[in-house]
Chains A and B, each alone.
Chain A
Amino acid sequence: MSGKSVDSKRKQDSLKTDSWSLKAKGLCKTFGKIDALKSVDFDVKQGEVHAIIGENGAGKSTLLRCLYGDIHPSSGKILVNDKEIKMSKPIEAKGHGIAMINQEPLVFNDLEILENIFMGHLKQKRSKIVDNKRMRDEAVKLLNDLGLDIELKGKMGNLALAEQQMIEIAAALSSDAKIIFMDEPTASLTPNEVDNLFKLINQLKSTGKSIVYISHRLDEIKEISDRVTILRDGNLVGQFKIADISVDEMIAYMIGGTMDKFITKKKVKLDKKPYFEVKDLSSRGVFSDISFDVRKGEVFGIAGLMGAGRTEIAQAIFGIIKKSKGKVLLNGKKLDIKSPSDAIKNKIALVPEDRQGLGVFLKKEIAFNTTFAAPWEITKKLNFINKKKERDLTIEYTNKLKTKLADIYQNVNDLSGGNQQKVSFVKWLLTKPEVLILDEPTRGIDVGAKQEVYRIINELAQEGKCVIMISSELVEILTLCDRVMVMYEGKKTAILEKDDINEVNVLTAAHGFATNKEGA
């Protein structure tokens, strides 16, 4: 009873609020040497869905975090109702009616679901005691709107990722936010859940709320949003009414001109027999029965949506997460890989996706990083380090990749994103690998650096290495790969041969629908 009245009251409030707006003027943000945002203008009107698109590292999330007060813009200003506001903490953004739903749900595993919904704005009785009844009533209402039935008493940690995401959305709604930022909210949702979300979004629009929506799924953008802002490498490259722009145009703007302009695939003749094989590899609860093979000189792509289990396959092969079943063969002989060091011994290398978190030691010298994965190259007996050898090798390899650096003894975090990525490459090239697994090799680096990376990939193929490339960027998949495996929720949905590799096939398979060339 009371719950209903409260809820309807909330609606009226938000309806009553006379039109308001959020604007950003000339936002800039630099991380160390990298410009994440270069003077970007942005604005949201009341009751609209405004999408932001762009490739990884184009600055979408950075923009959102600035608007949410999570990070301070280096320059530029943010205005609410044309009044400039200064935010030092998210708590202040909240004060301005802004709520945020993160890419990976940030939740309190140890707390009850109910509390997860209201944490940060818990309802109290006059006695300063938390009013569980009132919150429960509101929560039930919310979850109905979202078409969920989840036991509110349960612990958050026991929910599946998708459910956690929905709870986060519920949380944002419960905070009476006027504007909600959604950073790839559908990344881990099933089509069914996505529909519910969209229903909800439309309902919110009708109640005068605004949504800022980030997604890689352009079809979704087309479906749900009113306007779209396109970013590339931190620059604002365009802002359109959704009706005025087609998906292809969006892509063109995102990658800056049509793809073949800057990616070229060097032809390499592949030998017949597979060199590196994976046979029904499984890891409990993550992915299952994955089989594929790679020939010398081949670039083998793995495509799929975020959370489809691509990275995990790489980790399983590399001995970081446990394999529950299946085997890995190199040149016909079975490999027993329990840890990365085993993998390295077997001439396998993994250039991980999270460069700064997994790829390089930011606070160590370039030389240190370059030689770290290949100790045998620079150590004498009693594993003393041969400083001269270290220097020579570092110089040789960094030059080979045209890494721009002042001094091989400077720290890696003084380098630009692209050069950091090159160091991460160099480190692995030094181990003289036969098989290279590249996880999102161009994530968050500028166009120039991307071309460099593509060049390196081509060269590696020409040197007859097996290259396995995991990528979310269609462009790369479509142009660089000889064959592509597409995954959906931990399962292989297709292996596409050269001629079948096109956007339609990849995306359909990536969304879990069989392609005509299923499992070829």
Chain B
Amino acid sequence: MSELVKQKKKISITSVRELGLVAIILILYVVVGLIEPRFFSFRVVMSIMLSTPILIIVALGEMTAIISRNVEVSLGSIMAFSAIIGGMIFKSNIDFPIVVVFLVATVVGGLLGLLNGTIVTLFSLPSVIVTLGTMNVYRGLMFVLMDAKQIDNMYIPRNLIKLAQPQESIIGIPYIIIISIGVAVLVSIILNQTKIGREIYAVGSNPDAARLRGIGVNKVKIIVFIFAGACSGFAGMIYMARVGYVNPVTTGVGMEFMAVAAAVIGGTSMAGGSGKTLGTVLGCILLGLMMTSISYLGIEGSAQKAMYGLIIIIAVVLEKIIKSKLGKEGR
């Protein structure tokens, strides 16, 4: 009886977050629009949408990691690394089939993720610290690989760059947006509809219980790291398509941080066990909107960093309050 009542409350609260995010996004958009009327234009909406796909894909990987009670801070490096590998392939042969390169980048990302996962599980170490280390290791590696040189625009095939261009699109929607939506749908299917997906939630929700239920906790963790890495690798290609070149030093720096922010804003609980694809995607859109608005209003860019930090803190604290209001502790 009372349980049923409680459940209703819980359900409403979780969906409230997504609705709330949508509301915030709309309000922010309108407010900026009122200050700067030119903001109300299809082009602007398009560029906001165009600014999110990279983040969305990385953030979904990060979300998966967080759901399983891990934090992956090397995703930015992994993204750059994969992009570099892809770029090198193109540099050697610009006509190389793009699909194959996408595949390669994704695999490379997955392998780097595998390395993280192995270290974390094999020695049962906190994932943050391990990835904090590998973050730099990977950067260094790609730097050596590239001998401090960047992959210039001229080596990137036009057809790849076209993926990020509105005029080259299905019903006016650029490919990378469609791709990112596709990835999001895929991720949500994997997480909600497949065995491994649900086990990821289980492991994050209560590792001991998972172990006693006969779930291979370490196996699940490693899969999570591979998955997060693969997402970032894939995102690396999208990055190349959008920005048009890759630099071993600047590409993807701070990406993991944005990803964590997006996931947490989207309602992914740092305590593990809960997190929704839709929420994370909305989180990414909110961040993208903020970025665009900031440059649009000519706000001093330095405010951005501070804002992201603030948002993360507010988000986690809110999360906590909601949880405790429900009288349910995220153990």
Residues in chain A near residue B331, CB distance under 8 A? 109
Known: A90-B213, A108-B273, A119-B199. A129 touches B206 (CB 8 A): no
- CB of A252 within 8 Å of the partner chain: no
Residues in chain A near residue B211, CB distance under 8 A? 70, 89-90
- CB of B20 within 8 Å of the partner chain: no
Chain A: minimal CB distance from B2 (Å): 9
B202:A90 contact, CB within 8 angstroms: no
Residues in chain A near residue B206, CB distance under 8 A? 106-109
> What's the Cα separation between A100 and B210 when bound, in Å?
12
Known: A119-B199, A130-B194. A89 touches B205 (CB 8 A): no
B201:A110 contact, CB within 8 angstroms: yes
> What's the Cα separation between A163 and B195 when bound, in Å?
25
- CB of A465 within 8 Å of the partner chain: no
Residues in chain B near residue A159, CB distance under 8 A? 3
Question: Which of B4, B202, B209, B328 counts the most A-chain CB atoms under 10 A from its CB?
Answer: B209
- CB of B133 within 8 Å of the partner chain: no
Within 8 A of B (CB), among A58-74: 68, 70
- CB of A120 within 8 Å of the partner chain: yes
Residues in chain B near residue A94, CB distance under 8 A? 214
B213:A120 contact, CB within 8 angstroms: yes
Partner of A151, one of B3, B197, B201, B330: B3
Residues of A in contact, count (CB < 8 Å): 36
A-contact bits for B189-224, CB 8 A (1 contact / 0 none):
100011101110110111011111111100000000
Partner of A153, one of B6, B7, B199, B215: B7
Chain B: minimal CB distance from A112 (Å): 9
Within 8 A of A (CB), among B114-159: none
- CB of A33 within 8 Å of the partner chain: no
Chain A: minimal CB distance from B248 (Å): 39
Number of A-B contacts (CB under 8 A): 103
B3:A154 contact, CB within 8 angstroms: yes
- CB of B43 within 8 Å of the partner chain: no
Partner of A110, one of B7, B194, B197, B273: B273
Known: A106-B206, A130-B194. A91 touches B214 (CB 8 A): yes
> What's the Cα separation between A94 and B193 when bound, in Å?
23
Partner of B214, one of A107, A120, A163: A120
> What's the Cα separation between A47 and B209 when bound, in Å?
27
Residues in chain B near residue A154, CB distance under 8 A? 3-4, 6-7, 10
A105's nearest neighbour on chain B, judged by CB, is: B209
B-contact bits for A259-277, CB 8 A (1 contact / 0 none):
0000000000000000000
A151:B7 contact, CB within 8 angstroms: yes
A123's nearest neighbour on chain B, judged by CB, is: B195
> What's the Cα separation between A129 and B197 when bound, in Å?
10
- CB of A349 within 8 Å of the partner chain: no
> What's the Cα separation between A8 and B189 when bound, in Å?
31
Chain A: minimal CB distance from B321 (Å): 16
Chain B: minimal CB distance from A189 (Å): 16
Within 8 A of A (CB), among B289-331: 328, 330-331
Residues in chain A near residue B273, CB distance under 8 A? 108-111
B3:A150 contact, CB within 8 angstroms: yes
- CB of A124 within 8 Å of the partner chain: yes
B-contact bits for A150-188, CB 8 A (1 contact / 0 none):
110111011110010000000100000000000000000
> What's the Cα separation between A276 and B193 when bound, in Å?
59
A111:B201 contact, CB within 8 angstroms: yes
- CB of B274 within 8 Å of the partner chain: yes
Known: A115-B198, A119-B210, A155-B10. A91 touches B216 (CB 8 A): yes
A-contact bits for B9-24, CB 8 A (1 contact / 0 none):
0100000000000000
> What's the Cα separation between A93 and B273 when bound, in Å?
25
A109:B205 contact, CB within 8 angstroms: yes
B6:A158 contact, CB within 8 angstroms: yes
Residues in chain A near residue B193, CB distance under 8 A? 129-130
A-contact bits for B172-203, CB 8 A (1 contact / 0 none):
00000000000000000100011101110110
A132's nearest neighbour on chain B, judged by CB, is: B193
Main secondary structure of the interface of A (DSSP, over half): loop
B198:A158 contact, CB within 8 angstroms: no
- CB of A102 within 8 Å of the partner chain: yes
> What's the Cα separation between A153 and B10 when bound, in Å?
12
> What's the Cα separation between A130 and B200 when bound, in Å?
14
Residues in chain B near residue A218, CB distance under 8 A? none
A107:B209 contact, CB within 8 angstroms: yes
B216:A89 contact, CB within 8 angstroms: yes
Residues in chain A near residue B204, CB distance under 8 A? 110
Partner of B4, one of A68, A108, A151, A157: A151
Chain A: minimal CB distance from B277 (Å): 15
Residues in chain B near residue A155, CB distance under 8 A? 7, 10, 328
Residues in chain A near residue B201, CB distance under 8 A? 108, 110-111, 115
> What's the Cα separation between A100 and B7 when bound, in Å?
28
Known: A94-B214, A130-B194. A158 touches B3 (CB 8 A): yes
Chain B: minimal CB distance from A85 (Å): 15
Partner of A109, one of B194, B213, B214, B328: B328
A159's nearest neighbour on chain B, judged by CB, is: B3
Known: A110-B201, A119-B198. A158 touches B10 (CB 8 A): yes
A102's nearest neighbour on chain B, judged by CB, is: B212
A128's nearest neighbour on chain B, judged by CB, is: B194
B212's nearest neighbour on chain A, judged by CB, is: A90
- CB of A430 within 8 Å of the partner chain: no
B205:A158 contact, CB within 8 angstroms: no
Question: Which of A119, A121, A128 counts the most B-chain CB atoms under 10 A from its CB?
Answer: A119
Residues in chain B near residue A171, CB distance under 8 A? 213
> What's the Cα separation between A250 and B51 when bound, in Å?
73
B194:A119 contact, CB within 8 angstroms: no
> What's the Cα separation between A110 and B274 when bound, in Å?
6
- CB of A122 within 8 Å of the partner chain: yes
A160's nearest neighbour on chain B, judged by CB, is: B3
> What's the Cα separation between A93 and B211 when bound, in Å?
12
> What's the Cα separation between A93 and B330 when bound, in Å?
29
Residues in chain B near residue A129, CB distance under 8 A? 189, 193-194
Chain B: minimal CB distance from A170 (Å): 13
A163:B3 contact, CB within 8 angstroms: yes
> What's the Cα separation between A217 and B330 when bound, in Å?
33
Chain B: minimal CB distance from A231 (Å): 22
Partner of B195, one of A68, A108, A124: A124
B-contact bits for A115-157, CB 8 A (1 contact / 0 none):
1000111101000111000000000000000000011011101
B202:A111 contact, CB within 8 angstroms: yes
B328:A91 contact, CB within 8 angstroms: no
Residues in chain B near residue A68, CB distance under 8 A? 212
A94's nearest neighbour on chain B, judged by CB, is: B214
Chain A: minimal CB distance from B280 (Å): 16
A130's nearest neighbour on chain B, judged by CB, is: B193
A130:B212 contact, CB within 8 angstroms: no
> What's the Cα separation between A160 and B274 when bound, in Å?
20
A95's nearest neighbour on chain B, judged by CB, is: B214
A98's nearest neighbour on chain B, judged by CB, is: B214
> What's the Cα separation between A102 and B204 when bound, in Å?
20
Residues in chain B near residue A130, CB distance under 8 A? 193-195, 197-198
> What's the Cα separation between A141 and B211 when bound, in Å?
26
Known A119-B199, A151-B3; further 6 A-B contacts with Cβ < 8 A: A68-B212, A91-B214, A100-B212, A109-B206, A109-B328, A111-B201
**Can you report 17 residue pairs joining A to B where beta carbons are below 8 Å apart?**
A93-B214, A94-B214, A102-B212, A107-B206, A108-B205, A108-B273, A109-B205, A110-B204, A115-B201, A119-B198, A120-B215, A124-B194, A128-B194, A129-B193, A151-B3, A154-B7, A155-B328
- A-B complex: 6 closest residue pairs judged by Cβ atoms: A120-B213, A91-B214, A110-B273, A106-B209, A94-B214, A154-B7
